[in-house]
């Protein structure tokens, strides 16, 4: 049985993060950003909107998003600020494009590039210490859920990712994104009750490491895993998740806008 998250009740602004992955070429990226910018121009509800295009288009995205309601994020960053690391991108480079967020440890990077908890930890520390907000992805595979070890796996991922992070100051923010790996392909979302159980696991892992007030004020938990315009309200209720990380559904402006409006019309409260 799912218990309500205890703690001080407070209002938070919901968060919608669009991860465009390795999709969209220059023109389609430009067209999507322009459409989002124009259609959200008169959007007055409180909602943090972040788009994460491919790194090669970050500069153009920055130009198009100036004075808009949409913030910019990156899909990855390296753990060193400079050096002989061919093809890598540092957080300082991202900051030159006015990126505020960076996705770290996405399941696809863990799968295709061999990224492990140690690498995620190093990248998270570098992001936090240098003024970016890391979106740290955690989640279990189908096999791990079948074996019943998802709670241990996820708690371990959270603690290892934040092992050397000390978010005790107001400007240091962290986002934990729960993305059940088994739900991303073939696009079957996790049952809301299962997702909420994991939100409790993530929160407990955080409270094991930080004061509860720090968890409430400095860390958000979002859901990512086949989120779309019809199911978004099943996840971002404020009590368990304070936002969503959206993949394929964010590649179409109308779908992403529906997600934003569906999530933002609610009074999001967090306990």
User: Is 171 one of the catalytic residues?
Assistant: no
Distances from the Cα of 176 to the Cα of 33, 56, 252, angstroms: 25, 25, 25
The full DSSP string for 150-217 is: HHHHHHHHHHHHTTT----STT--EEEEE--HHHHTTT-PPPHHHHHHHHHHHHHHHHHHS-HHHHHH
User: Is 179 one of the catalytic residues?
Assistant: yes
- Active site residue: 71, 140, 179, 229, which one? 179
Token pair belonging to 251:
């590649």
- Active site residue: 106, 108, 115, 229, which one? 106
Residues known to be catalytic: 106, 179
């Amino acid at each position: 049985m799912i218990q309500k998250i205890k703690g001080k009740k407070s209002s938070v602004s919901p968060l919608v993060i669009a991860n465009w992955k390795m999709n969209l070429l220059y023109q389609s990226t430009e067209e999507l950003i322009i459409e989002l910018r124009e259609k959200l121009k008169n959007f007055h509800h409180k909602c943090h909107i972040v788009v994460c295009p491919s790194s090669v288009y970050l500069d153009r995205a920055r130009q198009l998003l100036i004075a808009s309601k949409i913030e910019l994020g990156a899909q990855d960053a390296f753990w060193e600020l400079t050096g002989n690391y061919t093809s890598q991108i540092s957080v300082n480079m991202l900051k030159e494009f006015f990126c505020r967020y960076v996705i770290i440890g996405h399941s696809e990077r863990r799968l295709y590039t061999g990224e492990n908890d140690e690498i995620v930890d190093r990248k998270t520390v570098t992001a936090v210490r240098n003024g970016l907000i890391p979106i740290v992805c955690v989640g279990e595979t189908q096999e791990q859920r079948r074996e019943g070890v998802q709670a241990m796996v996820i708690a371990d991922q959270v603690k290892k990712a934040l092992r050397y992070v000390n978010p005790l100051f107001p400007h240091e923010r962290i986002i934990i994104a729960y993305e059940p790996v088994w739900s991303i392909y073939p696009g079957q979302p996790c049952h809301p009750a299962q997702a909420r159980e994991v939100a409790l696991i993530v929160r407990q892992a955080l409270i094991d490491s930080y004061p509860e007030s720090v968890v409430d004020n400095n860390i958000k938990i979002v859901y990512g895993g086949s989120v779309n315009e019809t199911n978004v309200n099943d996840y971002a209720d404020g009590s368990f998740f304070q936002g969503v990380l959206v993949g394929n559904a964010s590649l179409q402006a109308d779908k992403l806008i529906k997600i934003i409006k569906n999530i933002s019309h609610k009074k999001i409260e967090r306990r």
